[in-house]
Structures are given as structure tokens and as C-alpha cells.
């Protein structure tokens, strides 16, 4: 829908729902107990939930994650409606209240039509040559419209304490380069729909049908050229491949047709001497195919990206057309989410740390923070024991791994420092302008970090987000308050179920520090090989087992998962669940291992893990994710992980030839 490039994804919003928690914390009503847990554990744990929750018309995917997300959205909605209703709002409440009010002000939005785009469209129309193109490109990137490539600040991969300039390929609209290059029937159909959609958008912006049609074709050709020069997603996951430090003058020397110095000034970059060019070959077409494009092709390309990025902030016909292609056709969503919920999401994207401060007050207490911190410490001890007990790793590499493990910083609930929005002007009747100004301020805040010491406390998610992340360069695990709730965690419910829920999330993030990407960084967050050659080879052998396993899973129709694209996530599940299990076993030493609701603690642990992943997905979404999402769908995260675990087979007394028992089980950590 809205593709402005902002730091935050997902969504937020009410006070802790009073959900009935049975003694075990297991949702028995979600289970399908007619299925043998040793045949298909995912169906056993989630079968009735999945059957009873057909996809809502406004979603392409709906699962337990989304239930929690909806719950968080209601909290945020209360906050925003409350702020917007105040007569003399000031400070933080003025900012978020006015932003939300401007998004809900559909009369003002409708009245303006595409007029808010006029200054930008005029600038695009006035471009005459490469110097005009570079200036406008910088301008669009500043306001969060992704064109051609992404330029900005990043920690130096080899010296994480300093922030450098970085440039990486970008500028496509469709979800992946393969969408432009593949020639199967589905890909051809998608491109036909994309062409028609672009034509409709140009017409809505004022073009006659013939001109609109011509522009759509020009954009398609332009983006196809970009796609041909893009690195594929699997290669982009390798931090050594994308590490190419170059002197500043390198670009001007190699791609002389582009006015680099003027561009750097226009985009707001502070002085710098060197930069990391993630994929230098990706620029090879800049002086040739792209540079040779007539000016109207560039104009069409910029215009479409601007229209698409702004669609949700413009009058309804444009928003509808954008939804029709991107959501309805490409993702299988039948209708847009309610306006107020979209406005919550928009506020979270634009002003996430302001909304987050209010959210924390309502949804996250000091007791939850203390309990999670204790859990994290238990998991860290378990991971240390796990590393020390590995049979395939030599003592030197183990010692280095332990150093890295001990260096991990844990952040629970919300960032240590809140982002500053004081320079952003927000007005209750200017939704387009608000979004543009917030986006520009955030992007400028980021780009000005070039040349500065790296702020390793910075978060890339907002507090109400139902997600968590590991940052390789700050070597930190980060758990937004949004995920530290049911079904992941409840301080009042059974411990074993909590270990399977939030414990597995913690173990997962920790293991990211040691997956096929994370292992390439040391405890200080620097790209440095701390492995002996033999241990590195053993690791690669073990992750290949995981890659082959998941490449064998069919997501939808004839579309299989890409075991190499999803390798980091699957490795994190493979190790993370085991570490959570070990930590639970340790904790059980001081509590009686009694049955609750008929389940042993071990059985509750695996159910707690699996029930987080109950979900339904449209076939369109499944297809798109198989090509682009580094995460596997829920059912494979459950069955793919458990099939490798003897601990699971023991807990459910599975026979050695049961489907949930994988011959040649994969184990990395």
C-alpha cells in the first residue's frame, strides 16, 4: 500500500485483554486432537483454530501474531483517538493527535485530490538532463520514495563503532527482481496486471489513455533493466559479498555520467571519504542503458514511484487503484483495513517512538520486564552449555563463540533513548504534508549519522510491534513490548508454556548471532572470521542439511520454499527452540514436573511453541512470500523445526518411523 521507506514496519494499539487463561496456558480449543501429534504436529496444535478462523476479507494472512497485533492496535487507537479528541492538545499529544486526525480527515484529503503532488510533479516535469535527474532523485529519496538505489548511513561492517556511507541497489516496484525476469505464465500475467495498473495510475494523475499507456511501458522497461542488474536475495544475505569499501571518488571515476557530488549534497550527506557499495556491478547500467534513456522515461519512472508511495495519502480513487493491484491482485486481500486502523499504522510508521511512549505506559509493566530479563538470562546460560557440549566444534572456536554470547546486549520492551521529532511540523488538516515531513525528518536524521560514532542502542522496530530482532552490528537482542504478551507470554500462566512461546522467541533471536549470517560477525559486531577452517566447514555442512530440508517444503501450488533464502531464520528456529528447552529443563529442577490439563511440561512446551504459529494465508501471499520472505510459513516453522528434535519425539513418544521424526535430523547448534 504505502511504500515510503521508513524504519518501522508492522503495526500497533488497549490495555491487557482479560483473556481466560487455563491452568496450562494451552489453548485446547485451538487443537485438533483427531490428528496424531507424531504425524502432523502443526495440525494437532492448530487445526481447529485454523479451521475456525478463515481469512478476514481485509487480510492476506491472519494468525495468532495478528490477533496480538489487533489487540495492540486497539490500545494505540484508544491513545490516538483520545489525543485527537482533546481541544487544547500540546506537546506529544498534539503531534500524534494531529497526525491521526489528519489521516482520518477524509474530506480534506478528497478535496485536495492529487494537488499535494503538484510541486513534486512540476519538479519532475522540469528535469532536462542528468543533473536534473540527480537532483530530483535526491529529493524523492529524502521524502522516502525509493528510486534507483538507496543511499544512507550504516555501521562500517568491519568497524561497527563508526557509521559510514553506504549505497545499495534498489528502485524496483514489484517484490523481487524475478517478477521482471521470469517467463512462466504466472509471471507474465503479473506483469500484464502491473502494466494495466500503472496505466490507470497515470490516468488518475491526469494523463490521457494513450500517454498513460506509453508511460506504463516505459516504466516497465526501465525497471526490467534495473532488475537485470540486481543481485538476487540469497546473494544479498552474504555480508562479505556486500562489503565493498570504495573511496568517494570511485563512483565519479567509474560512472562519470552521473553528477555524484551534486547528488550527495542534494541528498543531505555530511562529508565522507569512503563508502560501502553493496553491489558495484549493479551500477554498471547507469552510464549505459539507464543513462541513455530519454528524459520522459525517467519522468514516468519517478512519477509512478511517487504516486505509489503516496497513494494512501491521496484522494480515494488513487488509493483504491493502488489497493487493487498491490493488495487485491498481488496479495489476495479482498478489502482495505478500516480507515482508523490504517491511520494507527501510519502514525506508528511516522511517529512510532511518540506513540510508543504512551503505549508502554498502558501495556507494559516493570514486572513483565523483570520476568523477561530473568528468562533471557536463563536462555543465555543454556546457550553457553549448549555450545560447550557441541561435538563438532573445537575448543578454540567454542571459546570465541562464548565470548560473543557473553557480549550480547539485551533490550527488553522499548529503546533506551526515544527518537526526537521536535523538528517535524504536524498539522491536523495536512495528511500528505505530515507524512512527507515526518519521512524526510527521519531520513535526514539517519543520513546525518554518516561520520558519527554508531549509536548501538538504536531500534529498528517500534514498541507496539509484534516482532523481535537481533542486530549483528550491535550484537544485541531486542524485544518490543508488543510481543511480550499472549500468546507468547503471560506472567500468570504455566512456565513451560512461556518457555515454548516467548522462550523460543528469545532463543531464536540469540541464535541469529550464530546463524549463517550472524556467525560472520564477532562479539563487537565486526565482520571478522573467528572460526577455524575446519569448524567453519562443519558449520556449513550442518546448515546445508537445514537448507535442503526446507527446500523440500511446498508452500503453494508448485512453489517451493527457498532453503537458502530462509536459512538464517530456520537455523535460528533450529537452535533457539533447543536452547529454550534446555533452559526450561533447568528451571524445572526447582519445580515439580506435574501434568496440567493432561500435558507434561515437555508437551506443554512444544504446544506453547506451535500455537504461536496458527495462521491462514491467501495463496497469493504464500506465493509472494516464498520468493521474498526470509521466514518460512508457520506450519513449516513448527513441523520443520520439531522433525529435527529428539526431545520432541520423546515428549510425544513418537515411533522412529513417524512422519514427525526426520531421518538424518539436522542440528546446527
Q: How far is the CB of 641 from Zn ion (least distance, A)?
A: 12
Q: Please, which residue, 549 or 569, has the CB nearer to Zn ion?
A: 569
Residues 544-573 that bind Zn ion (CB under 5 A): 569, 572
Residues 237-256 that bind Zn ion (CB under 5 A): none
Residues 521, 523, 524: CA angle, nearest 5 degrees: 90
CA atoms within 13 A on the CB side of 483: 24
Q: Please, which residue, 59 or 508, has the CB nearer to Zn ion?
A: 508
| φ, ψ of residue 184 in degrees (nearest 5) | -70, 165
Q: How far is the CB of 462 from Zn ion (least distance, A)?
A: 17
Q: Please, which residue, 143 or 572, has the CB nearer to Zn ion?
A: 572
Residues 572-591 that bind Zn ion (CB under 5 A): 572
Q: How many residues bind Zn ion (CB under 5 A)?
A: 2
What distance in Å separates the CA atoms of residue 231 and residue 669, rounded to the nearest whole number? 30
Query: Interface mask (CB under 5 A) for Zn ion, residues 13-42, using x and -?
Result: ------------------------------
Q: How far is the CB of 461 from Zn ion (least distance, A)?
A: 12
Q: Please, which residue, 98 or 569, has the CB nearer to Zn ion?
A: 569
Q: Please, which residue, 430 or 569, has the CB nearer to Zn ion?
A: 569
Residue 397: how many other CB atoms lie within 10 Å = 21
CA quadruple 561, 562, 565, 567: dihedral, nearest 10 = 80
Q: For cell 530530483, name the residue.
A: 136
Q: How far is the CB of 508 from Zn ion (least distance, A)?
A: 6
Q: Smallest Cα–Cα separation from 68: which of 117, 20, 19, 130?
A: 19
Q: How far is the CB of 48 from Zn ion (least distance, A)?
A: 27
Instruction: Give every CB contact of residue 306 below 8 A, 6+ residues apart in sequence.
Output: 117, 120, 121, 124, 140, 145
DSSP for 583-647, please give it.
HHHHHHTTS----BTTB-HHHHHHHHHHHTT-EEE-HHHHHHHHHH-SSPPHHHHHHHHHTT-HH
Residues 293, 298, 301: CA angle, nearest 5 degrees: 125
DSSP for 155-175, please give it.
EETTEEEEEEEEEEE----SS
Q: For cell 571459546, name the residue.
A: 399
* The three three-digit cell numbers of residue 449, written as one number: 549519522
Q: Please, which residue, 522 or 569, has the CB nearer to Zn ion?
A: 569
Q: Please, which residue, 193 or 631, has the CB nearer to Zn ion?
A: 631
Q: How far is the CB of 251 from Zn ion (least distance, A)?
A: 34
Q: Please, which residue, 463 or 576, has the CB nearer to Zn ion?
A: 576
Q: Please, which residue, 8 or 127, has the CB nearer to Zn ion?
A: 8
Q: How far is the CB of 512 from Zn ion (least distance, A)?
A: 6
What distance in Å separates the CA atoms of residue 279 and residue 309, rounded to the nearest whole number? 25
What distance in Å separates the CA atoms of residue 21 and residue 411, rounded to the nearest whole number? 27
Q: How far is the CB of 313 from Zn ion (least distance, A)?
A: 31
Q: How far is the CB of 373 from Zn ion (least distance, A)?
A: 20
Q: For cell 508492522, name the residue.
A: 10
Q: What residues line the site for Zn ion (CB under 5 A)?
A: 569, 572
Amino acid at each position: 500500500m504505502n511504500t515510503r521507506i521508513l524504519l518501522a514496519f508492522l503495526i500497533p494499539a488497549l490495555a491487557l485483554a482479560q483473556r481466560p487463561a487455563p491452568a496450562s496456558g494451552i489453548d485446547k480449543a485451538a487443537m485438533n486432537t483427531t490428528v496424531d501429534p507424531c504425524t502432523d504436529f502443526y495440525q494437532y496444535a492448530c487445526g481447529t483454530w485454523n479451521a475456525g478462523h478463515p481469512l478476514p476479507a481485509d487480510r492476506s494472512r491472519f494468525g495468532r501474531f495478528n490477533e496480538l497485533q489487533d489487540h495492540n492496535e486497539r490500545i494505540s487507537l484508544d491513545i490516538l483517538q483520545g489525543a485527537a479528541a482533546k481541544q487544547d492538545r500540546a506537546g506529544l499529544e498534539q503531534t500524534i493527535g494531529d497526525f491521526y486526525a489528519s489521516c482520518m480527515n477524509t474530506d480534506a484529503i478528497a478535496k485536495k485530490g492529487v494537488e499535494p503532488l503538484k510541486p513534486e510533479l512540476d519538479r519532475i516535469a522540469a528535469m532536462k538532463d542528468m543533473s536534473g535527474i540527480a537532483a530530483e532523485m535526491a529529493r524523492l529519496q529524502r521524502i522516502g520514495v525509493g528510486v534507483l538505489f538507496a543511499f544512507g548511513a550504516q555501521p562500517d561492517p568491519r568497524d561497527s563503532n563508526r557509521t559510514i556511507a553506504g549505497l545499495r541497489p534498489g528502485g524496483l516496484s514489484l517484490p523481487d527482481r524475478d517478477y521482471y525476469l521470469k517467463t512462466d505464465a504466472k509471471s507474465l500475467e503479473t506483469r500484464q496486471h502491473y502494466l494495466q495498473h500503472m496505466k490507470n495510475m497515470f490516468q488518475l494523475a491526469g494523463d490521457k489513455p494513450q500517454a498513460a499507456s506509453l508511460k506504463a511501458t516505459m516504466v516497465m522497461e526501465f525497471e526490467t533493466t534495473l532488475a537485470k542488474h540486481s543481485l538476487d536475495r540469497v546473494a544479498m544475505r552474504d555480508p562479505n559479498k556486500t562489503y565493498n569499501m570504495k573511496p568517494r571518488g570511485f563512483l565519479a571515476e567509474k560512472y562519470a555520467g552521473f553528477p555524484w557530488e551534486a547528488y550527495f549534497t542534494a541528498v543531505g550527506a555530511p562529508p565522507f571519504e569512503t563508502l560501502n557499495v553493496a553491489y558495484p556491478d549493479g551500477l554498471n547500467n547507469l552510464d549505459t542503458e539507464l543513462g541513455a534513456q530519454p528524459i520522459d522515461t525517467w519522468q514516468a519512472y519517478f512519477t509512478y514511484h511517487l504516486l505509489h508511495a503516496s497513494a494512501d495519502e491521496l484522494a480515494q480513487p488513487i488509493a483504491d487503484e493502488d489497493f487493487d493491484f498491490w493488495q487485491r491482485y498481488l496479495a489476495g486481500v479482498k478489502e482495505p483495513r478500516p480507515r482508523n486502523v490504517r491511520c494507527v499504522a501510519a502514525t506508528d510508521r511516522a511517529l512510532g517512538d511518540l506513540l510508543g511512549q504512551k503505549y508502554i505506559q498502558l501495556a507494559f509493566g516493570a514486572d513483565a520486564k523483570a520476568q523477561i530479563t530473568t528468562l533471557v538470562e536463563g536462555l543465555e546460560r543454556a546457550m553457553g552449555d549448549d555450545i560447550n557440549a557441541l561435538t563438532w566444534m573445537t575448543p578454540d572456536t567454542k571459546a570465541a563463540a562464548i565470548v560473543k554470547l557473553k557480549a550480547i546486549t539485551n533490550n527488553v520492551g522499548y529503546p533506551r533513548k526515544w527518537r526526537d521529532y521536535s523538528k517535524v511540523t504536524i498539522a491536523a488538516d495536512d495528511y500528505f504534508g505530515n507524512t512527507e515531513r515526518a519521512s524526510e525528518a527521519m531520513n535526514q536524521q539517519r543520513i546525518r549519522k554518516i561520520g558519527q560514532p554508531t549509536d548501538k542502542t538504536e531500534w529498528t522496530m517500534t514498541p507496539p510491534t509484534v516482532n523481535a530482532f537481533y542486530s549483528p552490528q550491535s550484537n544485541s537482542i531486542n524485544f518490543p513490548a508488543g510481543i511480550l504478551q499472549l500468546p507468547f507470554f503471560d506472567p500468570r500462566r504455566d512456565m513451560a508454556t512461556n518457555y515454548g512461546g516467548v522462550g523460543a522467541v528469545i532463543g531464536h533471536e540469540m541464535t541469529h548471532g550464530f546463524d549463517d549470517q550472524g556467525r560472520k560477525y564477532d562479539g563487537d559486531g565486526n565482520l571478522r572470521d573467528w572460526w577455524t577452517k575446519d569448524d567453519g566447514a562443519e558449520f556449513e555442512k550442518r546448515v546445508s542439511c537445514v537448507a535442503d530440508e526446507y527446500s523440500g517444503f511446498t508452500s503453494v501450488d508448485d512453489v517451493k520454499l527457498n532453503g537458502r533464502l530462509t536459512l538464517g531464520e530456520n537455523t535460528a528456529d533450529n537452535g533457539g527452540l533447543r536452547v529454550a528447552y534446555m533452559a526450561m529443563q533447568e528451571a524445572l529442577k526447582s519445580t515439580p514436573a506435574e501434568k496440567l490439563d493432561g500435558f507434561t511440561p515437555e508437551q506443554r512446551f512444544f504446544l506453547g511453541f506451535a500455537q504461536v504459529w496458527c495462521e491462514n494465508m491467501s495463496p497469493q501471499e504464500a506465493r509472494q512470500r516464498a520468493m521474498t520472505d526470509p521466514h518460512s510459513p508457520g506450519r513449516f516453522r513448527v513441523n520443520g523445526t520439531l522433525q529435527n528434535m529428539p526431545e520432541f519425539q520423546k515428549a510425544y513418544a513418537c515411533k522412529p518411523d513417524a512422519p514427525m521424526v526426520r531421518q538424518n535430523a539436522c542440528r546446527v547448534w
